[in-house]
Amino acid sequence: MPDRPTGSPSRADDLAHELQVEIITGRIPLGTRLRQEDLAERFGVSRTPIREALRQLQAIGLVEQLGHRGALVRSFSPDECRNIFLVRAELEGLAAERASGRLTTYDHADLDTAQALLRAGGERVQQLPASDEEGRLIALQQCSQANELFHNVILAAANCPPLRDTVQALTNRVPRSLAWHTFAVDPGIVPRSADDHDRISEALDKPDPKRARKLLHAHVLDTGETLARWLSRQGGR
């Protein structure tokens, strides 16, 4: 999930960011229909930036486009979430097994960068008051991007495009980034994930393919369960 644009963002970028914040924080519930005309009136803009903003939200998996009628905030049940993460855990575990012992110097540098950003973002979230939704969202987005980098390095090192593409398709169905916004349900998710990553990196370096597979499998399942609990609190089935 992208950070808020810097420099000179377009109006569509701003709108996408505002809507993203409202979806993530629950002010716009999952399953809500977003009508272009209603959004245009609310924000005092034409439908053109609204359409672009909705396309941006579709690209990160938060909404489904309904043509010219607007979009629907994607909704899924806790059980659907668990099932998707179950399959993802099997596939990403396989990726870790294949990647074990294959990481390059650049891969190791990327994993170190991801870990540093993840821990820094987690510390920032803990320091901010709960009332600072904007600041907490930005910090959690940093965690999400760092986490995505970590997982993508492993998927690339596995050197199996069908595996990588299948994981990406599953990620688009239930965005991995949503899990970082379950902080209220499970405040330990960020430091726990960083610790998991350290153990996975160690197994990849050793190399210990079977342990790497087991650790990443368990890590993905834990993330899915955390997200499923959050969905239950949002009124999911």
Tell me, rounded to whole angstroms, the distance of Cα 41 from its chain centroid: 30
Run of H or E residues at 72: strand 71-73
CATH code assigned to 78-233: 1.20.120.530
Instruction: Supply the mean pLDDT for the chain.
Output: 87
pLDDT tens-place string over residues 86-117: 999 999 999 999 999 999 999 999 999 999 99
Angle value at C-alpha 135, between 219 and 117, nearest 5 degrees: 45
In the predicted structure, residue 194 carries a pLDDT above the cut 90: yes
Choose which CATH entry (3.90.870.10, 3.20.20.70, 1.10.10.10, 3.40.50.720) describes domain 11-73.
Answer: 1.10.10.10
CA distance linking residue 228 with residue 86, whole number of Å: 12
How would residue 202 be classed by pLDDT, with cut points 50, 70 and 90?
very high
Task: Report the pLDDT averaged over residues 19-40.
Answer: 84
Q: Of 191, 228, 199, which is closest to residue 216 (Cα–Cα)? A: 199
Q: How far apart are CA 120 and CA 116, in angstroms?
A: 6
Phi-psi region of 214 (alpha: psi -120 to 50; beta: other; left: phi over 0): alpha
Q: Where are the domains of the chain?
A: 11-73, 78-233
> Which residue carries 């009124």 as its tokens?
235
In the block, residue with structure tokens 């990849």: 204
- Counting every residue written for the chain, the total comes to 237
* Chain-centroid distance, C-alpha 200: 19
pLDDT of residue 75: 81
Q: Which residues pair with 135 in a beta bridge?
A: none
Question: How far apart, in whole angstroms, are the C-alpha atoms of residue 89 and residue 174?
Answer: 13
Share of the chain above pLDDT 70, in %: 90
> Confidence class of residue 163 from pLDDT cuts 50, 70 and 90?
very high
Contact 145, 1 (CB under 8 A): yes
| Helix (H), strand (E) at residue 71 | strand 71-73
The token pair at 40 is 């245009």
Residue 216 to residue 221: CA distance in whole angstroms: 9
Q: How confident is the model at residue 155 (pLDDT cuts 50, 70, 90)?
A: very high
- Rounded CA-CA distance 129/174 in Å is 28
pTM strictly above 0.85: no
pLDDT digits (tens, 9 = 90+) for 70-88: 899 888 889 999 999 999 9
